[in-house]
A and B are shown apart, each in its own frame.
Chain A
């Protein structure tokens, strides 16, 4: 249950290499100079990380954006990609939102449609939000609390809206026989969410939950008027509540946003709404997209996951191009699941042997090194997570593994001569393959023989590494994995990959953490309403997992983002873990 990052398909990598090899530096080196002349800002590496790069209040122009794949859905109730949450704020407004702009403040939540943050009841099971006045849709009709409640209720129907997150399905106290607003049109859902008057939305939870403000910044809380709702077809004509509305929308191809004259900036201090027009191309070849971004033909790479390997080869060696990039650490961990399902890995000492033997530097190199890959991770939670603490239970010399300690652990495990196991990885991800090879080499030094098995990424979790029967039958002991968070707190990052109660037969994301003590700590943490105490509890969860030695952290991922040549007001937002799209303008 977490926001997916649109990861680069590896299939294009081979072509990309050809292109970069042939096209190195083709007429691009003068571009940054133009930017400097036009925008008056000096491009510099990481210039948009802690401050706004090329700040501007100038309105007008067309922001040209492109996406290398299809949008999962433009419907606020049916979308789950980070870029969609980020970009969608052009045409929707939610109860709360991440504070726009750079720096650590970007992780904090502020009100958007709501007058203030949510008010929890004393038991933490009821959350109340009060709407601002003067809110309107693009057609001039007022936005009411009823529409917000309806939008939340309609997102419940996962048959119609299979893409969106299901936090609210699980958190709220839905009527037993409720199957969604279409199939159960006569069932009243007020036990879960209700509008007590035109401006008050009340959420009723099954159990106490502290992070509600993070949940309602997601687009399920974007209002949808019942009489305009067309179910799965609503994505073709979304009624805007934000500063822009759809002019055209060709699903799978392109769409255009223009100004929504019914949006009242007085109710919305957070969106500067600079461009007059926003054009989005879909399904653009990822390498073409990078080339167009480099040349300035487009302003924005929608997925926000960074440049492709081909473009990296071109950009990093060129100081002028590198000065247009930012290299933030994102709330994402690449790691190895150390799976206790098959002996001898059911013994914690044997898992610890893996921890000690792993060569962290080799693993980091496999993932692309410090710039393109990320910093060496020593524990589960990445640094951008609120309250994260960096600690290291398995310190080894120069991070290159400790054979002696590993052998000690093996002896304690009763396997002094080592053992054999199998490591699964996604064969369509070259970096994960490289990681598997690095692990194989490192573990061989302590006589742990690792057999490598590659699987297709699309069915990795459903049929292979995330399928408990398959793991047991095939003796899988290690598996390449990666995780990003939906929101930057412990619950948002950790719950899905360390809570053993989420494990089912197939489609698991928690492959290895099966520890009741961890589960107990998770329950304590998620019901703790005090923010500081809560963060501390999540660090405890992190420590417990590391003691359990069931996750071997590899890198805290970094992405390499590139600023378009014409864009103004660029800032990396930690909450979005991308550039803050709603701030952008064009020269």
Chain B
């Protein structure tokens, strides 16, 4: 799967423009700035290897991933150890450390938001299911519908305008502190993005949980649990919710994997220096090695997340283990 993704990404950047008639020089002209003479463009096209056949260029990229690559910086040659995603066409910096650098931001954003949305979404869903038809149920399901329908750049902008620029409760967009530097500041800066992102996702989880709980709370084993004298809270959580967890887990695996791959809109809206923002910059700059890097890392996370979910299925539902 990762191979397919890497080939598609590569193809979009190289094959498609060449079908459209772009020469290696035209490709290279994006990485020299507009001031360059034809000679400069030609030299850069040579250095970036645009004159080689596409297969050779792709092979070189894949080789770099497994065995590392070398980068000629004029005054010498630098080794880029595997996994080498190459060097940015724009800044000349190796891509991999940049990706690794931005991972904590996206990871912090995703983990924090995930905790909030799972806790909020699931508990709202549970309460709604238990109080089906109540005012709380109708209010929360209405809000949930709004939550899934409103795009993050809308809720994000509104939240920034209201809480950061208006009330001044939360820091403005772009605030980021590393966890290791100051955990409190880290959490404070991320609070608004967390909540906004969580709002978007919590809605879906609330609806899913509610539907699942309505189903499981009518099951015979719930009655059995009550007949044992189990406290209602435990009946709901341990017996009801546990059984409703499987579809939530599936959804979570996909969502979380995608999110780690880059919460593009959220990071753009709040200007967080994570993978999503990196992806936007890379695409805007048409910086192929960076785009390849971020796409592959994102795809990698989706793959890993679905793998983990598959494994977790067996843990959650013992019936999966045998069949």
Contact = CB atoms under 8 A, between A and B. Distances in A.
Contact, chains A and B (beta carbon distance below 8 A): yes
Nearest to B280: A11
B218 interface: no
Interface stretch (B85-93, B127-135, B208-216, B249-257): B85-93
Interface string A256-290: 00000000000000000000000001011100100
Interface string A208-244: 0000000000000000000001111110000000000
Contact of B273 (A9, A283, A297): A283
Interface in B109-162: 153-154, 157-158, 160-161
Nearest to A292: B172
Nearest to B153: A15
A18 B268 CA distance: 14
Interface stretch (B36-44, B189-197, B222-230, B296-304): B36-44
Contacts, number: 151
A163 B25 contact: no
Interface string B66-77: 000000011110
A27 B73 contact: no
B93 A462 contact: no
A159 interface: yes
A159 B46 contact: yes
A252 interface: yes
Interface stretch (B6-14, B26-34, B53-61, B239-247): B26-34
A225 to B, nearest CB: 12
Contacts of A4: 33-35
B8 to A, nearest CB: 21
Contact of A231 (B74, B157, B269): B74
Nearest to A15: B153
Given A70-B91, A158-B43, A166-B36, A459 B73 contact: no
Interface in A156-174: 157-166, 169-170
B73 A162 contact: no
A291 B157 contact: no
Contacts of A504: 38
Interface residues on B, range: 35 or more
A242 B172 CA distance: 34
B166 A72 contact: no
A284 B91 contact: no
A230 B35 contact: no
Interface in B265-307: 268-269, 271, 273, 277, 281, 284-286
A3 B294 CA distance: 31
Nearest to A12: B268
B26 A230 contact: no
With a 10 A CB-CB cut-off, give which of A23, A159, A253 has the most chain B CB atoms: A159
The 7 closest A-B pairs by CB, nearest first: A231-B74, A231-B75, A160-B74, A158-B40, A232-B73, A162-B32, A159-B43
Interface of B: 20-23, 25-26, 29-41, 43-44, 46-47, 73-76, 78, 90-93, 98, 153-154, 157-158, 160-161, 165-166, 168, 172-174, 268-269, 271, 273, 277, 281, 284-286
Interface of A: 1-4, 9, 11, 15, 18-19, 22-23, 26-27, 70, 72-73, 80, 157-166, 169-170, 180, 182, 229-234, 251-253, 281, 283-285, 288, 291-292, 295, 297, 458-459, 461-463, 504, 506-507, 509
Given A15-B153, A166-B40, 18 more contacts: A1-B37, A4-B33, A9-B284, A23-B165, A70-B281, A80-B35, A160-B74, A166-B36, A169-B37, A180-B74, A231-B73, A232-B73, A233-B75, A283-B281, A285-B173, A461-B34, A506-B25, A509-B34
